[in-house]
Amino acid sequence: MAYPRLVEALYDNRRLWTALAVDVADPANRLPPELRAQIFYLAEFVQIHSAKVLAKKARLAPLLEVNAAILRGLGGRSAQR
């Protein structure tokens, strides 16, 4: 992936996870507290790991794996392969 496209993709992904974190941090959110905490943790991980990827100190794969696992979960499929 060309670097400018990588930067844009990471930016968009961070925006998505920031929106999710804001939503689960809202006291009016009706998800179970444990699930809210897990989503918030993943959002923090995405922020930190994205910065490492941009600094070329980490690989992109863990971010792709997190997003794929979430998509599988939203689709009603098991997160296991």
Please check the confidence at residue 56 and state whether its pLDDT lies above 70.
yes
* pLDDT over 70 percentage in the chain: 93
pTM over 0.95: no
Q: What is the pLDDT of residue 78?
A: 52
Q: What is the mean pLDDT of residues 27-51?
A: 98
CA gap 76, 80 in Å, rounded: 12
Please report, for the chain, the start and end positions of each structural domain, with discontinuous segments joined by +: 3-74
Q: Is 65 exposed, middle or buried (0-12, 13-18, 19+ CB in 10 A)?
A: exposed
More confident call, 36 vs 78? 36
Please check the confidence at residue 80 and state whether its pLDDT lies above 70.
no
Q: What is the mean pLDDT of residues 6-35?
A: 98
